[in-house]
Amino acid sequence: MVLNRHFQQQPVFHPVTRPDITIKNLAIFDTDVFRDEVAARLTGSVQIPTVTYDSMGHVGEDSRWDVFYEHSEYLRKTFPRIYKALELQTVNEHGLLYTWPGSESRLRPLLFMAHSDVVPAGTSTTAEWTHPPFQGHYDGEYIWGRGSEDDKSNLIAMLTAIDSLLECNFNPSRTVIISVGFDEEGGAEQSYGARCLAELLLKKYGENGVEMIFDEGIAGIEHRFGTDFALPATAEKGYIDVTVSVHVPGGHSSTPPDHTGIGYLAQIIRIIEDQPFKSRITRQNPTLTYLRQAARLSKSMPEELRAAILGPDANEKILEYMDASRERRAMVRTSTAVDVISGGDKVNSLPESVQVVVNHRIAVQDSVQAVKDHYIRLLEPWAEQQRFKFNAFGSVLSSERSSSRLKDDLEEGTLILDAQYELDSSPISDAEDDRFSWLVGTLRGVFGNDVVVAPELLTGNTDTRYYWELSTQIYRMSPWRASHDPRGTRMHTVDERMPVKGLVEMVKFYHEFIRVLDEKRI
């Protein structure tokens, strides 16, 4: 009885006006003809290899951008009603801003985001694909290919939802915007698309001038503890890459020192990996809200865990549970990933310069500066012990003791720390806000009354990092059931694919979300 009462506490929203649209379109969405039609739209998009790389020149200078013209033309031919009824602006040639003007100018717009670019498929793994990565194969159950899930599925679903509403002569009261970037998958500091789109929107609507922003995220309906959870991310972690460089004298490898530069770097890597950031759970972390929702509402959470989450010593026991899995612990700590290493030119030549790049996704309780301070605490004692000069993020650090010693002793080398792309964790959207309840109600209206909606933390980053000033309510999820693909998500790897059932669910969600928000007022 208690469980049922808790389920009823979350709202369920269905559009009230224009019941004819509900009757017509929701019935159409369930047909094989519609399923195959929307699959064909995604297939055609996947067949255009809109790949971005970590280092690309400016649009108009680097010919690798030119394929995006083909994709834009494909969208124009596929959605003629949209191109007739909506306003379209292009930014830096390939950024697309669709605006569907509402009749009530006092209502702040609803903003959807997507991106048209994809990661490379990788020639070394081409033979491992079930179907070639840009063939866009559709077998009646899945659309296969690079970008089929991330993120062309969301883009095609958004446009299809609007196209279906236009076919019914739906005229929104609230302006609806789709902002389509084209370099989300590019290098971390590349920002020809989303950043410029965000600047245009900020100039037009002003700070907090948008009611709500909805962007991609994980496959947002997951089965946990015997319960279906819809998990919109209300925050995302920060980001920093730290480059650790060791510079030492070279020479012939026939007379090596005790440690080469690579040997020293190996010591440093071990220090970094053996002393990770501490896990902490704080009230601002959406993960805590999710866990409490799961403890109250899930059907089969182990009673010991349920009691721990809701009990007086919750934090300590929650951290034990979170740290037991690398996926869960990423929600409560700043992650450390040693990803790229380089150094050494020839087998008989001692390496003079070696380096490693360490990627960090910054937890909500930490900051860019906290990451830098962590490195200094870890490596300053090592540098002093090894008689290395220590340059940390632009500052030469040395204690009085090491400085006086270095006057008499020969320095062994130099240790340098540099940071690239510094981004603190995002602002946190308030799950107690009325607008979050609109999302909750729509998700439960589309996916069923038994679905529990809870906020979550996104461990990666999206293009929303450029949009923080536009709205206090930003949500990130891909609205389809992860259970439609038993193999799990395949984004960014071999055999990426999108279940057609999930694609249709996304169309239904965007279709209903537009209508529900059109009826809501703050």
Residue-level pLDDT at 313: 79
How far apart CA 88 and CA 24 sit, in angstroms, is 28
117 a catalytic residue? yes
Rounded average pLDDT over 99-107: 97
How far apart CA 415 and CA 464 sit, in angstroms, is 35
Mean pLDDT (the chain) is 93
Question: Fold for domain 13-236+426-519?
Answer: Aminopeptidase (3.40.630)
412 a catalytic residue? no
Task: Report the share of the chain in percent with pLDDT over 90.
Answer: 88
Residue-level pLDDT at 189: 59
First to last CA, the chain: 33
H helices of 355-484, where?
A: 368-385, 400-408, 434-447
According to the annotation, is 150 in a ligand binding site? Answer: yes
The alpha carbon of residue 415 and the mean position of all alpha carbons in its chain are separated, in whole angstroms, by 33
Residue-level pLDDT at 492: 85
Give the pLDDT confidence of 3-44 residue by residue, as tens digits.
Answer: 433 444 799 999 999 999 999 999 999 999 999 999 999 999
Query: Is 398's pLDDT higher than 70?
Result: no
Confidence of residue 205 (pLDDT cuts 50, 70, 90): very high
Residue-level pLDDT at 318: 93
Pairing of strands 353-362, 238-247: antiparallel
How far apart CA 353 and CA 413 sit, in angstroms, is 10
Rounded average pLDDT over 471-499: 94
According to the annotation, is 484 in a ligand binding site? Answer: no
Give the pLDDT confidence of 70-91 residue by residue, as tens digits.
Answer: 999 999 999 999 999 999 999 9
β-sheet bridge partners, residue 388: 413
Give the pLDDT confidence of 236-280 residue by residue, as tens digits.
Answer: 999 999 999 999 999 999 999 999 999 999 999 999 999 999 999
How far apart CA 497 and CA 490 sit, in angstroms, is 7
According to the annotation, is 492 in a ligand binding site? Answer: yes
Residue-level pLDDT at 5: 36
Give the pLDDT confidence of 271-306 residue by residue, as tens digits.
Answer: 999 999 999 999 999 999 999 999 999 999 999 999
The alpha carbon of residue 307 and the mean position of all alpha carbons in its chain are separated, in whole angstroms, by 32
Query: Is 403's pLDDT higher than 80?
Result: no
Coarse DSSP helix, strand, coil percentages of the chain, rounded to the nearest 5 percent = 40, 20, 40
Give the pLDDT confidence of 412-459 residue by residue, as tens digits.
Answer: 899 999 999 999 999 999 999 999 999 999 999 999 999 999 999 999
According to the annotation, is 252 in a ligand binding site? Answer: no
How far apart CA 456 and CA 292 sit, in angstroms, is 12
* CATH 3.40.630.10 in the chain, residue ranges: 13-236+426-519
Q: Which of 151, 183, 184, 463 is catalytic?
A: 184
**Residues 238-278+333-423, CATH architecture:** 2-Layer Sandwich (3.30)
Confidence of residue 123 (pLDDT cuts 50, 70, 90): confident
Rounded average pLDDT over 38-67: 95
Rounded average pLDDT over 374-383: 98
State the DSSP code for 299: S
Confidence of residue 522 (pLDDT cuts 50, 70, 90): confident
According to the annotation, is 345 in a ligand binding site? Answer: no
* CATH 3.30.70.360 in the chain, residue ranges: 238-278+333-423
Residue-level pLDDT at 6: 42
Question: What six digits make up the tokens of 352?
Answer: 């003079």
